[in-house]
Amino acid sequence: MTGSVLLVGGSSEIGMAVLLRLLGSAPRRVILAGRPSGELKCNAEKLRDAGYTVSTTEYDAALDVAELDGMLEHACAGHPLELAIVAVGSMSAKSFAQGLVVNGLAVALLLRALMQRRPQQIVLLSSAAAVRPRQSIAEYSLGKQLADSTALLLARQAADTGVRILVVRPGFVRTRMTADLAEPPLATDPDRVARRVAAAVDSHKTVIWVPRVMGPVVRVLGILPRRVLPPSWR
């Protein structure tokens, strides 16, 4: 890949791990989109130190369709977008509605806006919770479910446009967001997710689970009565 690369969720640990795996060697233009933060600034400097040309732009879940289009137009002005990584998600929403918007509706609108720019590859960092929603993180699960389903629907249309879409469904990943949560079996880390994503992009896959066994495990859990499972798995 030689065109511009966009990471939406520029402070995401998983997003950065995936970005670094897919970037290739410098020089290359990178756009980090997200809310202004120390992590976003640090990630930008890390990439600049490695020889990449980096710009940052503000992304917020409150952006409407026109504002999303404007953000992408400004961020990618004069440079064709080749790869877009969407690493947006939060378990700390202040309300159920906000959780659905941040994790779901806003991401669905972003994916549709990205499709209009026809990058070669879109990577959506979804979640195993998108397939098996959990009561303890209901707004996160249902939001991810909307984003995941949107990506799969767009992937069916993408065959006519040349855009490839990869949906990544990790289980528990050790990050700042999950630092205060009890670690369940099959926990993984951002670098392992990134390695699986890189292999899946090379082989043109549409859906992957991380770890690989997570897919069969989720299917089995979907069969079992929830009352027999530990509360954190329901």
Is 140 annotated in the active site? yes
User: What is the C-alpha separation between 9 and 40, in angstroms, rounded?
Assistant: 9
**Burial track 54-87 (b if 16+ CB lie within 10 A, e otherwise):** bbbbebebebeeeebbebbeebbeeeebbbbbbb
Six-digit token string for 201: 């992009």
Question: In this structure, which amino acid lies at residue 206?
Answer: T
Beta strands of the chain (E only): which ranges? Answer: 4-8, 29-34, 53-58, 81-86, 121-125, 164-170, 207-210
- Angle 46-48-54 from CA coordinates, rounded to 5°: 110
Q: Do residues 193 and 205 make contact, with C-beta atoms less than 8 angstroms apart?
A: no
Helix axes 65-75, 106-117, angle to 10 degrees: 50
Identified catalytic residue from 52, 59, 140, 172:
140
What six digits make up the tokens of 97?
């509605």
> For the chain, how big is the Rg over CA atoms in Å?
17
Q: Is the CB of residue 85 less than 8 Å from the CB of residue 107?
A: no
Active site residues: 140
